[in-house]
Structure 1
């Protein structure tokens, strides 16, 4: 059975590796016609219905994004994809293009799998979580294959790579999510990416933004790229440039401002939940430290230390 990968991609490994090397704004490469065309059509044909996926956001509310992480049960094309991405040949191909050796496949597809985004969805600029939650591997690469026969940057939803979304000098590269177009990019503490709100014309609102996301890991990474373990870090979108003194707000402005405030509230709520969880863990550890045999030993040691100092 032939590989699902387009033979042209296999023949251009050195050229693609040269494209990946420049850091502008960080290392990435865009690959057209990544899969054989007939296989890409099968992946699209077996793409799961929106209702099958997890459509709850980080606040636990139903939203306009649906994901299915475990792709194996989606049909024969996805079973073949699962076989492909864990094969040594495929991992070595991605390793050669990116210069990152000993890549590891994620059997959980944590955060990956199929992604579908509807009208009204956006994704604030962010850097991804940097360690796998199950085995603490280092997250190194994202590989996203888009499945949209019809898309235009004017619709929103195009991938944006940022040099620094917090800076007025932020440099942005836009990648339109066209059918069978793949993008591979490194995941580091500065690989900021996201996409603007999907705003479809009234006669196009049945369209959705479809993609398959694959993440790759290594057991180690260079010391200069290593940071403390963290979850996804977002930068809230700034106010639209049109919101200036003297501007009269219309209904669209109000909707956009309301969405920005709601998104900021969601991010704050997530941070509060994380802080509360860490506080609870600290209190549990503190209680364990001062109870049982260890607690008694600490008490004896403190009494002995006071006596020693008093003597």
Structure 2
């Protein structure tokens, strides 16, 4: 059962959902828990966000064996309307195009979920042919929202400093051994548009071994560069702030990870003279996956000229 890309738009704050009466069977809040084999069931509490990368997920589907705490339930609500995630999708004060299987295939609740208060998003992909946009190659696995809307030519400008930020939890990969044989994937990217293709101007990634990586690419550096790579624990909240100047010759990038500056690049090629970049985030694994992959996002700031330097040393709390 397929659906065209002109799906209806919906604001996803908990208040609007309640007021609009859209809490149907598909919209009912559920407590999500992911087992070692990727199974999803109702009734479990969420994981403690201070868990370490090596912590094992519970194998039982007993709702009392949750791995979480009473004051940290990770409850999420379906984004489906009449069985599909709408595109465009309204969240955090702006509209996004949805590149996920749930906008094209019915009742894929897991692809994109929201917290009841509308403060968090949860993305999930499995290794199935439905876990992608119908426009994607068959190997690609993706659940992602994009600042590029159909029919809207608005793009991020070149030559000015753009600030963006987000808090994210990369849940542990369910099959790290299998993932190590692939290519890893992208959790956030400044895409350069269809005229250029290839890797994005800026990307926040996990490599096949799980390392966290920051890469850049530009008109005069089409092969791209890895400018930061280091281990980063899975299963805990990380806060990322970045300041980027898109310019084919005089680009710059600064990145702070959990309050520590890890990137300071100046006078490099980032982006293209066509100024066709836009921000996407979620899960984008162009080389495929071997098991379920999950990420949660909050405290998101879409790239703009508004400075976010205050946030570097004032990390926001993970919201309810």
Give the TM-score of the pair, scaled to structure 1: 0.31
Higher helix proportion, which one? 1
Give the TM-score of the pair, scaled to structure 2: 0.30
If you compute each CA radius of gyration, which structure gives the higher value, 1 or 2? 1
